Amino acid sequence: MFLKLKLPLILIIPPILCDVGEFLCGDQLTCVSESWLCDGEPDCPDGSDEVEVIVRCPLNHIQCIGTRKCIHFNKLCNGVKDCDDGFDEGVHCRELLSACHELHCRYGCIMTRNGTFCFCADGFEVGEDGRSCRDHDECAMYGTCSQTCMNTYGSYRCSCTDGYSLQPNRHSCIAKHETGENPAALLIGGSDNIIITALNGSRLQTLKQLDSNGTHGLDFNHKEESVCWVTSSESSGQLRCARMRKASGFTKEQEVKTVRNLHGMIPFKQDAEFEFHGI
């Protein structure tokens, strides 16, 4: 069987992952578009999108003072005001020119009103000596890719797990919907049943009623077209699996024998939800 348990088992709730270009609300549950921040209309349930938000500029960018605007280093001291207050231009561009030459930067030097420092080409970062350049690991930044991230020299590549396809933005993943296949659905382990619904919440359907205290863990194996779940009662716990080739129900349901009893395991979340597709 593809699912193996080793007790004691503690399951941890993973953090909510927003797509690139989205903002995680203060409730740590809701994602909204970054373009909606500070637009005068609360979009987060707690209104956290309308309070002052810390701006994190991309690599090789700098923030225009007092705004949410970030500009690339190559726009500093280029003779064009890209910040409304002219922060990127000024007399310092001439006065600090000699100081830049003295740094002997491997790639380039920028001049700001706060001083001078070296910078590197996109995809690279300044080394410990403050002058040389080394590869920047974009994958180390949380949320760079919605699923899988592979760092490459001077760049990175996003990919998706089985059953998902990469979107044109090359960052986000969406469940596949091949011709002839049913659309993606959401499998939910509730307190007294296992149900299935469309991703928009419509077509709610009960797949199985539970006689115990509900599901304490639920997962779908896309390759094997099977579902496994853990249930518990006052005296015992069980791991059960079933085939699910259609969205209408389970077949070949069976209990998976484990070395130790599952009673007393720590549930990671009631009403756990798992997205699956291709059934």
pTM: 0.53
Q: Which two tokens stand for residue 106?
A: 């491997």
CA distance 76 to 279: 54
Higher pLDDT among residues 165 and 202, named by residue: 165
- Check residue 256 and give its pLDDT: 79
The CA distance from 187 to 272, in Å, is 9
For the segment 149-168, what is each residue's pLDDT rounded down to a tens digit? 999 999 999 999 887 889 99
> Where would I find the beta strands (DSSP E) of the chain?
22-24, 31-33, 61-63, 70-72, 108-112, 115-119, 124-126, 133-135, 148-152, 155-159, 164-166, 173-175, 185-189, 193-198, 205-209, 215-221, 226-232, 237-246, 249-256, 272-276
- Give percent of the chain with pLDDT exceeding 70: 76
pLDDT tens-digit readout, 118-154: 999 999 999 999 999 999 999 998 788 989 999 999 9
- CATH homologous superfamily for 55-135? Laminin (2.10.25.10)
Q: Which token pair is 49?
A: 């999108």
Summarised one tens digit per residue, pLDDT across range 216-263 is 678 888 777 888 888 776 666 778 888 887 777 787 877 777 665 554
Q: Is the pLDDT of residue 266 over 70?
A: no
Domain ranges of the chain: 55-135, 185-255
Chain-centre distance for alpha carbon 13: 14
41-65 confidence digits (pLDDT tens): 788 888 888 776 567 788 899 888 7
Label residues 50-75 b or e (16+ Cβ within 10 Å = b).
beeeeeeeeebbbebeeeebebbbeb
Give me 222's structure tokens. Answer: 């896309």
Query: Mean pLDDT, the chain, as a whole number?
Result: 77
- Per-residue DSSP letter, 57: P
